[in-house]
Structures are given as C-alpha cells and as structure tokens.
Chain A
Amino acid sequence: MLEARWLSGLVRRRRGRLVSITVGVALTVGFLAALGSFFSAASSNMTHQAIRSAPVDWQVQLAPGLSASAGLNVVASEPGVAKALAVNYGNVSSFSCNCGGTLQTTGAGKALGIPTSYATVFPKEFRYLIGAHRGVLLAQQTTSNLHAAVGSRIQIGLPGGSHVELRVDGIIDLPAANSLFQAVGQPSALAPQAPPDNVVVLPASLWYSIYQHVNAANASITQIHVRLANVLPSDPSAAFSDALARAHHLEARMTGQALVGNNVAALLDAARNDALYANLLFLFLGVPGVVLAILLTGVLGASGGDRRRKEQALLRLRGASARRVVGLGALEGLTVGVVGSILGVVLALGVGKLSFRAAHLKATGLLTSGWTVSAFVTGLLVAVICLALPVLRDSRTLTIAEGRVALGAPRRPLWARLYLDFVALGLAAIVFIRSASNGYQVVVAPEGVATSAVDTTVFLAPLLLWIGAALLSWRMASAVLSRGGGVLGALLRPAAGPLTSVAVASMRRQRTLLSRGLVILMITSSFAVSTAVFNATYSAQSRVDAGLTNGADVAVTAPGTTGLPSNLANVVQAVPGVASLSPMIHRYAYVGADLQDLYGINPRTIRNSVHMVDSVFTGITAPQALKALASRPDAILVSQETATTYLLTPGTMIRLRLQFAADHRYHTVPFHFVGIVREFPTAPHDSFFIANSRYVARVTGDASSQILLIHTNGPPPPVAAAISTKVSPLSGITVRSIDQQLSATLTGLSAIDLSGLTRLELTLAFLLAAAAAGIVLALGLVERRRTFAIAVAIGAKSRHLASFVWSEAVFILSGGILLGTVTGWLLAEVLTKLLTGVFDPPPDHLSVPVGYLTALLSVTLVSGVVAVVTSLRATREPQMDVLRDL
C-alpha cells in the first residue's frame, strides 16, 4: 500500500530529516510535561505543606454555657473531622514560686487542660525540653521568670482569689503559641494579641479538678481542637474554599454557639496566593520556552522544504489528490510525533528528577498527570502541523508546475505589509502602561474572600513585546540585507576581497533564509537572557527578603521583651567570624489604643551590621533616613500603615506610651516623626516604629537589648552554630542565620520555589541557544550544499567559500545575539515590573548573572563556529552525488 511504502522509504532513506524533527518534538514535549507536572505537583505540594504545617486545623471556641461534651459530639460528627479533642483555657491571675531561696512572682497567664492523647494528635503544639512529658508542664518562659525547675513547687492564682500549688513535672516550649492563644472570632486587625508569657499545661482531669470550684465569671473557655481528615483538594484555591466552607457549615450547625478559628484556611490563603503567582510565573517564564521549542521544531521541519514540495508536486502529478498528499504528510507527522512524544516523556522524567526535589515528581505521578497527556498530544499536533500544514498550504496555493521549481524571490510577507511588528510593540506598551497605572496589581485576592482572580491580560505585555521585537528584528535584518549593500560590502570587504559584491548579492537574495536564522537566534537569546536576569533578580531579592526578616547575617533574638544577657554582646563579639554587631531594642508601644512594635537602634552604627536597601524607605534613601533619625534624639520613623491610619505627616509630634522599668506601667513618651519606612530588618510587615535606642533606654529606664544583629566575615551558618553554643537552650533565645531564614522562606509558604523551574528553564535556554546557533547555520549550509559543490567544481577554494559562509555566520550570530540581548533585557524589566507582587521587597534594579550570560554567549558562539567549520570542511570533499546530477 502506498502509505506503508512511502513511510518505509522515508524511514530508511530520509533518517536525518525525521530524526531532527523528532528531536524538536521530544524537546517540546519534554519541557511541557516537566513544566506542567512541576506546577501541578508544586501546587499540591503547597497545599499539603500548608495543611501539614497547621499545628491545629481548627480551634472551635464554644460559647459559654455550651458544655464541652456537647460541643465535642457535634464537632466530632462533622463530616471531614478526623480527630476532635476538648481543650480548656483557664485564666490564671499570677504565678509564684519560692525557688532557689527567693520568692518570684509573675503576672497573669493561662492554665491549659489537655486530654492525654493531645500530644499524639497535635504534636506541633508542644516541644518537650526537660523532664516528663505528662503531668504539670510549665512553659519555659514561665520557668525562667520563676527561676523554677523540674520538681519545683509553684502556686497559681485562680480567678476568685484562691490559689493552687502544683509540682512541676516537665518544662516545655510552645512553638505555636500565637495560634494556640489566638482570639477566635476577632478580626486580626483589632487587638493583636501577644500570647501569654506565663503558661502551665495540665492533664484535663487535674484541670477540671481545679477549675470546677472556681466561681468567677469568664474564668475559662473551652475549645475543641480539630484535625481534619485528608479531604481537602490538592489545588490550594480549592482547598482554601473547601476549608472555609466546612468551617461555616460547622458554625451553622452549631447555630452560633461556636466560632471556628480556621488555622488551616489561613495557611491555605497564603498558599493559594503563592500558587497563583506560581501559575503566573509558569505563564510568563514557562510558555515562552515551550513556544521556542515549537518554533525550533518548525524550523527543522521547514528545512528541506524545497525537496518536500517537489515530492508532493510529483505525487500530485501522478494523480494523488491533495487530501492523500496531505495525508502522507500527516502520517509522517504522526509517526514522528509518537516517537518524539514518547522520547519527550522519558526526557521529562529524567529532567524532572534532576531539576526538582524528588518529592515533586514520582514516575507514576508524572505518567498519569494530565499535563503529560496534554504534552503528548501537543507533541503530536506540533509534528503533524509542521509536516502537514505546509503541504496543505502548497496544495492550495501552488500548481503542480509551480511546486516543482524552487521558490522565486520572496514577496513581502503579510505581517510586514501590515506593520504587525509595530502594532504588537504598541499594544505591549499600552498593556504595560495600563498595568503600571493600577500599581501592577496582577493578583486580586481580597483577604478572606474565597475567590481570587489573576489578571491574565498582563501576560500580553511581555508576549507582544517578544513577538513585536522578533518581527521587528526580521524587518531590520531584511532591510539591511536588501538595501544595505553598501554598508554590508564595506564590512565584508576585508574578508571577502574581490568576491565582496558576489557575497553581498548572495546574501541579499537569500535574505529570507538569513533573516530567519537571525530571528531564531534572537528569540532563543532573548529567552535565555530574560529568564536568567529575572531569576538572578529574584534570587537577589530573596536574599534581601531573608535579610529583612532575619535582620542580618546572624540574628540573636530574646523571647518577647525579655532582655538579652548583658554580657552576651561581648561574648558574641569574641566568636570567630563575627565582624561587627549591633544591638537592637524591641518594646511594645501604644499608639492610641493600638499596641505596636517599637525598635530602637543606633542609626550611626547600624549599617555596620545590617545591609539597608533604599526600597524599604519611602521617598528617601537609606542613608537619608538614618541621618534623619540621628538628627535628634526623639526622632522616630513610622511604618507606612501607621502613618496612613493616624494621618501623620513628617515633622509632627507623636505621643506613644511605653512601659517604664521602674513601675512596669505605660507612660507617655513624645517622639518627633521624621520619615516613613515600609519594612525593617526583623520588624513585622505592617505596623511598627523605629526610634533611637539611647533615647528609649533613657526615658524608660531600661537599657536592655532584645536583638543582636551580627555581620559575619564569612558564611553565616558556622558562626550561628558557634554563637548557639554560648546561649542557654532554656533561655528561649534563638540564634538564626540568614541561610536558615532563606531556606525557611523558600520551603515555607511565603515564597515560591523557583529553583527547580529556573534550573529547568536555564538549562533549556542554554541548550536551545547553543542548538539554535548550530542548527540555523548548519541547516542553512546544508540547503546550499549544491551551490557550494558547484562553486568548488568551478574552482572556488576553501577561502572563497569561507568568505561567503563567514559573512553570513557573522551576520546571523552578531545580529541575533545583540538583538536578543537587548530584547531579553527589556523583557526582564517588564516581567520584573509586572510581577512586583512576587518580589518582597521590589528590586531597586535588575541583577546581572554575569557567569551564566558569559557562558551562554560563549556556547552560542562556539556552537556557531563549530557548525561553520564543520560545514566548510565537508565542502572540501568532492560532493559526488551533486556532481552526478550536473
């Protein structure tokens, strides 16, 4: 049968052409499958991480009057609830201990009553430090306040005035104290609560035995702590909506007698935003890579187009209908597509394992992933389109006689006549400006609202920029070749000598081939440059973000407002690797009824230890802000949110209330508002103050520092480890290096793990750029084998051919790389601006990955040179098969 013989003949004798398209398809499918699977795995990973990180999924606070057992029954029977345990929170008026010969008394706190299985079901709530894991467990902060130890006898004051004595069985830390003691049902903006400093955890039976006799009102509350079953969907947005809906359902069932503190939904809320940004990054960074791979496949498919057209014309001559001819093309495409797609999936498996963490991609997961199926189908489509579409087009537009001759001088393509390049660039500018005018809000996700939207139209800006730049490059290349004969001739004359006019004429008549080569190289270069620059900028900003969160290379932080030991600074200074350190005060200050964080620094010396970026200040640079702070003792920098809320303007007086050491009471302290700060090392993101530490220490009578910011000489982690040994584990003091913060940020929910994606992208970009240079030049030379063979037969020497070939190679390489770099840089600028939400804080400028770009340039040039040298070498051999035709 014709189709079988046809295909068999192609496989046996046109292997080169089939293999090259198969490779293109494999690259396309492999990249798409790896990308897509990465993203679906990453999204579900974000969901699972969010869910896993919740110490307690729901904290259902029961209204007073509803018994614990009744509440527990309802909650436990709610669909999706795997485990539910009742936890009692009892108020404690004071703790005291006659420990170590002195009587120590603290302020108010809480007594928790937990069932015996609590630690098994919710292991993240308690961290056992010393002593027993059951019985009376004292929080380590409380232990240090009371100077207590295991075995000590403490007294707790109950509401109503009575006291109870307890023997301490063990000491614990409460790593999730913020959520454990959250005020359920209150909006987070009001009454930000620091968790109680003093906590004792009792077995439920002991707790009940104590509090059943307490007659005061509001002496205790009961919460049902819930662990949900594995019922939430893997997509973060869907999981968030589901978690909210389930909680609302429970609240409705309990008819107002309970409120759900939805911890898991809060974590999923953050995850879904991150997932949305991840999807955006997929669009912005991933899709161009796929487009590029498809383009390259198209180029490979188009090579040898003349020969294919003649074959098709001969088929039509012999009576084959256009449908049959297209069918043969489609058959070739399907064959190539199937083989290429299978190879691509194998490639995706291999690449996936190398690029991403193993947890992201398991073989079975990949194979069954919808993405893989889509990629497979895409590969088939690409192959069929590349091979069948030209046939279809030719059968409709060319007569058989026309199909048998080489194509004549190219007419100006439609896009050039319609100036689509300028149109695309103009539209890109419009979309970009529009996005800029609404502050680059790409993700619209109102807090607490179930749905969030991504403004996908902003994707048009970089896409149209890319397309417009590529078309414009084609126009420019074509113009230089057709009208720039004089300039070209002058440039080529040193190499081409007397053959200059011939070389220029040859380039002019092959301007379609050469322009196409230049544009392909330009597209691959721009992709590589934009991806690399974006990734470098993102990495740099991640480090800045970690720096802002951690404070410095190493940060030593005391718990709450407890002061660091006074000799700690000296001890730390002596640790090898410590270059400089800056102490920082952390207090709480009331502005109005609102309690906010206040930090005290020495503005003259802080920069020794902390890298300050300008972008965290509004309207002024970092040095200017610090100078303003140093200008007067009572100067204060205020966060953007506070300034907005309280309508503060620079130069005005602010009165804050700070706790004085003498009487532990809050007193008014005046400050002078000198500037606005958006973010500050170690400070929370919303509301805070930065003041002069000396002034704060003087007026409050408390000179203790709570934070030590350390700049290291070398890598921070070993220094942090060394410092940790100087600090008592019971003290609650944490020592954290910037690298720990960086990895926490990256694996946590507040950032997107780009590393796997960018490794994949940068590798692909590298390969494509190298391949593009080689392929474009080699293909061009293969198509002109006959011309070169004739030239050699007439008497052209190697140096003559070299002058032709090198002039074309230099044109394509230099034009492609130059235009690609410029476009890539522009794309990176646009992407960075549009994806401002991804950056925290936004970068001042783009980062240049010098190493990668140098390697990219080198490999592209080398690949091009190798292609040219190899082809030239091949032309020295007499081309017998060509000569036979002459």
Chain B
Amino acid sequence: MMIATDTPSNEALNQPTDAVLEAHELYRFFHTSTEETMALRGVSLTINRGEFVAIVGPSGCGKSTLLHCLCGIDVPDGGYVAVEGIRLSRRTEIERGKLRAQLIGVLLQSGNLFDHLDVADNIRAVQALGSSRAPLSPEQLLASVGIADRLHARPSTLSGGEAARASLAVSLANDPPILLADEPTGEVDEATERVLIDLLTERTTSGKAVVVVTHSDRVASAAHRVIRIADGKVVDA
C-alpha cells in the first residue's frame, strides 16, 4: 500500500480479504429550505476484486448519492466507506483526494471533462494529480475506448457518445483498482454501449472492480451482481 494507515478503526478492516470496497450503514440527509430528505438509510455493501456490480433502482432512490459517498466526494452523515482496506470517510479532504486519485476511478453522469482543456490534456491533468504507477499514454487510453482520433478535440465539440467514452478514458487514466461509474451508457447508442460493457467487463478479468449505477438492462445483465436500491435502502443485493 502506498498510503500510510494509522487509525485504530482500520485494524478491524485489515483482514485478508478480496474486498476492494466496503460500505457500512451509510446515512445521508439533505436539507432544503423547507424540509429534510433522507437519501440513504443504512446502506451496506461489499465489492470484491474482479467484480462487476450494477446498482439499479427507480429515479430519486438515492443511487447517485450512494455513489458519491462511495467515492468520497460526498461525506455521509453516518457509517463509513473503506477502499482497499483503508478508511475513506471521516478523513480530511486532502487525504480523501489522494486516496481517490490513486485508488478510485470516478465517472459521473456529466461534467467529467474540463472545457478549456482538450481531451489529451484532460487525461494528463488527471495523471498529474494521480499515482506513481506508470500511466498509459493518452493515445493508448483513447484508443482503448475507440476515439483515438479525438485526442486534441475540445470537449464541447464531442458528440454525446464520444464524450462518454472520453470521460471513461479520463477516469481510467491512473489505472485504479476500482471504477465507480454513474450512468456511463446513458447517452450512447447500442453499439457504443456494447463496447463500453466489453471494456468494463475486460477490466474485471484483470482483477479490477467495476461498480456502475445504471438504468440499462443490458448493463445490469452484463454485471456479475445487481444491487437494487429503493427509498435509500438496499432491497436486493
């Protein structure tokens, strides 16, 4: 492990395990001016190495909130998240950022690319923030998602599908052990979707984990396991 761990609560997690991601009793509230919503109510899950997990559920059920908490960009009000045995929650943002840059690839529904940088620079920016592993070159990454010719394109000139593929390439720039994705195939056509599913599945063959929040049946059926969320709770894992 590259990151030092020194807190007592980690000891309980440092058991030999295949688990690459663990979440325990996650709670998350949102306050608007008039009311309080409970988006997550005690969600627990474990993702193992080499697993392809789909998280499904009706819109507004808390899937996106769950994903945000799993990758540490949102802070749960209760419970904890651990990656590769290292606690992610209740850390300073600097620590969470470092962990995330090295261990978690994040692919959100939109806004994955910096507008003012071209695709290659977007990849390089993420690699600059990320790990010490020998990274793949931007050319290789984009070729692996099938848009090698868009190396120097600005994000605003990409079509919906191209943007989704570029975003995937960026999220894999540091070759993280786990990828967390929110609707990666939402804006692409069938053919592209198949390509993306193949790519994600391929990652799992080399022991990397993939977690995808999705509406797509095709994605869900390609997954090893489906976790169903409704009303902020896991109803079927």
Give A residues with C-beta under 8 Å from B: 1-2, 5-6, 9-10, 12-14, 310-311, 313-324, 395, 399-402, 404, 408-409, 411, 881, 884
Contact = CB atoms under 8 A, between A and B. Distances in A.
Contacts of A404: 108, 111
Contact of B93 (A311, A314, A316): A316
Contacts of A9: 114, 116-118, 121
B94 A322 contact: yes
A319 B104 CA distance: 10
A6 B156 contact: no
Contacts of B154: 13
Given A12-B116, A321-B93, A881-B156, 13 more contacts: A5-B117, A6-B125, A9-B114, A10-B116, A310-B111, A311-B115, A314-B111, A315-B129, A318-B126, A319-B97, A319-B100, A320-B129, A400-B73
B75 interface: yes
Nearest to B72: A400
B135 to A, nearest CB: 13
Contacts of B68: 400-401
A869 B75 CA distance: 46
A401 B97 contact: no
Q: Say what secondary structure dominates the interface of chain A.
A: helix
B152 interface: no
Contacts of A399: 73-75
- How many B residues are at the interface, by size bracket? 20 to 34
A2 B128 contact: yes
B101 A322 contact: no
Interface in B104-144: 106, 108, 111-112, 114-118, 121, 124-126, 128-130
7 contacts: A14-B116, A311-B115, A316-B73, A317-B106, A318-B106, A320-B97, A404-B111
A408 B31 CA distance: 11
Interface in B14-70: 32-33, 68
Contact of A319 (B33, B114, B117, B129): B129
Contacts of B98: 319, 321
A317 B114 contact: no
B185 interface: no
Contact of A322 (B75, B93, B118, B130): B93
Residue among A315, A324, A400 with the highest chain B CB neighbour number at 10 A = A400
B201 interface: no
A510 to B, nearest CB: 16
A395 B97 CA distance: 12
A322 B112 CA distance: 18
B89 interface: no
A319 B93 contact: no
Contacts of A324: 129
B125 A5 contact: yes
A317 B93 CA distance: 10
A498 B116 CA distance: 41
B100 A317 contact: yes
Contacts of A317: 73, 100, 106, 108
A318 B32 contact: no
A320 B74 CA distance: 15
Contacts of B121: 5, 9
Nearest to B32: A408
Nearest to B160: A884
* Cβ-closest 4 pairs across A and B: A319-B101, A400-B73, A9-B116, A401-B74
B114 A314 contact: yes
A400 B74 contact: yes
Contacts of A13: 115-116, 154
B102 interface: yes
Contact of A318 (B101, B115, B156): B101
A318 B102 CA distance: 9
Residue among B32, B68, B97, B154 with the highest chain A CB neighbour number at 10 A = B97
A323 B94 CA distance: 9
Contact of A408 (B33, B101, B156): B33
Nearest to B74: A401
A417 to B, nearest CB: 15
Contacts of B32: 408
Nearest to B173: A318
Given A2-B125, A13-B115, A884-B156, A321 B73 contact: no
A2 B94 CA distance: 17
A12 B152 CA distance: 14
Contacts of B124: 2, 5
A243 to B, nearest CB: 62
B112 A314 contact: yes
Contacts of A408: 32-33
A319 B130 contact: yes
A314 B115 CA distance: 11
B97 A6 contact: no
Residue among A311, A395, A401 with the highest chain B CB neighbour number at 10 A = A401
Contacts of A411: 33
A884 B111 CA distance: 14
B158 to A, nearest CB: 9
A13 B155 CA distance: 12
Contacts of A311: 114-115
Residue among A6, A315, A318 with the highest chain B CB neighbour number at 10 A = A318
Contacts of B126: 318-319
A408 B121 CA distance: 32
Contacts of A315: 129
Contacts of A395: 93
Nearest to B120: A5
A457 to B, nearest CB: 42
B152 to A, nearest CB: 12
Contacts of A321: 93-94, 97-98
A5 B138 CA distance: 15
A316 B106 CA distance: 12
A411 B34 CA distance: 12
Nearest to A13: B116
Nearest to A409: B33
B128 A1 contact: yes
A783 to B, nearest CB: 16
Contacts of B111: 310, 314, 404
Nearest to A403: B73
A13 B157 CA distance: 13
B11 to A, nearest CB: 26
A411 B31 CA distance: 13
A13 B113 CA distance: 14
Nearest to A411: B33
Contacts of B129: 2, 315, 318-320, 324
